[in-house]
């Protein structure tokens, strides 16, 4: 048996319920939509950041891989690597850029700079492979400098 016998009573009950609960329903819907849109915006932002870091890294590798290795190309590699480290320090590309800077520093005989870059890569690397590579290169560098205690 229906509690509300007539259609008019049902409409009146619905209005009463909406008056009591309408603001909660609207708030819930708006909150849900804002969480959904916020998460989509955050994912989009992270995707753009990753894409930007990837593009910088690809440019850096292109300059590093060019034959001839003149001073201007080395400076461009250094600039792009420093930009990666500064702007995208949380990405894997920043650690790889630090390894590239360390390689350049060793080639130029700037061993303390290479040591600093390798230590940075070791401290900030996200993957075990990059940490292992940075640690191995740092150990080789310290051995070359006869810094056995370090």
User: Whole-angstrom Cα distance, residue 135 to residue 112?
Assistant: 15
The mean pLDDT value for 79-96 works out to 89
92-107 and 7-65 helices, crossing angle to 10°: 10
Q: Is the pLDDT of residue 69 over 80?
A: no
Q: What is the pLDDT of residue 10?
A: 87
Locate 107 and state its tokens: 């080639």
User: Whole-angstrom Cα distance, residue 37 to residue 39?
Assistant: 5
When the pLDDT of each residue in the chain is averaged and rounded to a whole number, the result is 87
User: Whole-angstrom Cα distance, residue 31 to residue 28?
Assistant: 5
The mean pLDDT value for 25-30 works out to 94
| Confidence tier at 67 by pLDDT (50, 70, 90) | low
The mean pLDDT value for 51-79 works out to 83
Q: Which residue has better confidence, 29 or 144?
A: 29
**Which uninterrupted H or E stretch holds 128?**
helix 128-144
pLDDT, tens only, 92-147: 899 999 999 999 888 888 888 999 999 999 998 888 999 999 999 988 888 887 77
User: Whole-angstrom Cα distance, residue 48 to residue 51?
Assistant: 5
Q: Is the pLDDT of residue 1 over 50?
A: no
128-144 and 111-124 helices, crossing angle to 10°: 160
The mean pLDDT value for 74-88 works out to 89
Percent of the chain exceeding pLDDT 90 equals: 41
| Confidence tier at 5 by pLDDT (50, 70, 90) | low
């Amino acid at each position: 048996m229906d509690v509300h016998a007539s259609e008019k009573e049902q409409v009146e009950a619905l209005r009463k319920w909406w008056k009591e609960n309408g603001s909660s329903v609207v708030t819930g819907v708006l909150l849900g939509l804002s969480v959904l849109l916020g998460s989509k915006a955050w994912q989009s932002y992270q995707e753009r950041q990753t894409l930007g870091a990837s593009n910088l890294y690809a440019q850096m590798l292109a300059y590093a891989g060019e034959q001839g290795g003149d001073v201007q190309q080395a400076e461009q590699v250094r600039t792009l690597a420093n930009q990666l480290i500064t702007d995208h320090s949380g990405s894997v590309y920043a650690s790889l850029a630090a390894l590239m800077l360390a390689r350049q520093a060793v080639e130029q005989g700037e061993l303390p700079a290479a040591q600093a870059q390798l230590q940075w890569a070791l401290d900030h690397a996200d993957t075990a492979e990059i940490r292992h590579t940075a640690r191995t290169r740092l150990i080789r560098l310290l051995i070359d400098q006869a810094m056995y205690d370090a």
